[in-house]
Amino acid sequence: MGDKPEKSRKKNAAPALSVKRIAKIAASLFFEKGYSQTTMREIGRACHISPGHLYYYIKSKEEFPVLFGEIRLNDITQWERKVRATMPDLKPEECLRKAVREYVYSIHKRRKMMLFWYSVARYLKREQLTGMYEIENRVIDVFREIIEKGRRKGEFGASDPFLTAFHVELVCQTWALKRYYLYKRYTIDQFADVCEQQAVLMARGYPAAKRRNSPKSL
């Protein structure tokens, strides 16, 4: 998804922090009431601003999916930049652990926006979903590159780096998708620990190794 909507908002002198605050409040309302049931007037009231003031920042409710995508894409750009900066200096396993942990924390930070994506995606237009696809592809690519590097160095044995990276990303996403269940058992730090360990085990290809080494049945 391009930068045009974000640039347009900045051109209209809408402070970035105010737009992010509105987006966070709107995401909470969409989560609690549903996207279709939430009105712009209710969003403005929750933000303690008049409808006219809200329309200065956001012209219609249909802009929120695009705005959520921009905010999340900015998160992932920062995450990706940070992870790639450490890749030359860290061993693949250490790099994978660090990347997974920070990705889980980024999910926790935007969990309600992400739940919005999953709950209403089938109702949105293709151009409103572009950001979601780009975000997932970029995350999977980073995990894949780390796993491929680990394979070259003999640290990892996953037979399909892309599919393994896809599964690692999916495990991390469950914090947003199933948090209503997981938070009863794990803190965010504990869940990040679990994701780290699962990612490393998948990258090492342990299940396949166990099958190869298991004794043949009689």
Task: Evaluate whether residue 173 is within a structural domain.
Answer: yes
Task: Evaluate whether residue 8 is within a structural domain.
Answer: no
Count of the separate structural domains present in the chain: 1
Q: What pLDDT tens digit does each residue of the chain (218 aa) get?
A: 444 444 444 444 444 447 888 998 998 898 888 888 899 999 999 998 888 888 888 888 888 888 888 888 899 999 999 999 999 999 999 999 999 999 999 999 888 887 777 777 666 677 666 667 788 899 999 999 999 999 999 999 999 999 999 999 999 999 988 877 888 899 999 999 999 999 999 999 965 434 444 334 33
Task: Evaluate whether residue 53 is within a structural domain.
Answer: no
Residue 121 DSSP class: G
CA distance 157 to 17: 44
Task: Evaluate whether residue 45 is within a structural domain.
Answer: no
Task: Evaluate whether residue 41 is within a structural domain.
Answer: no
Confirm if 146 and 87 have CB atoms less than 8 A apart. yes
Which residue range forms the structural domain that includes residue 92?
Answer: 62-213
Question: Domain with 111 in it: what CATH number?
Answer: 1.10.357.10
CA-based nearest residue to 18, from 51, 52, 65, 53:
53
**pTM, two decimal places:** 0.78
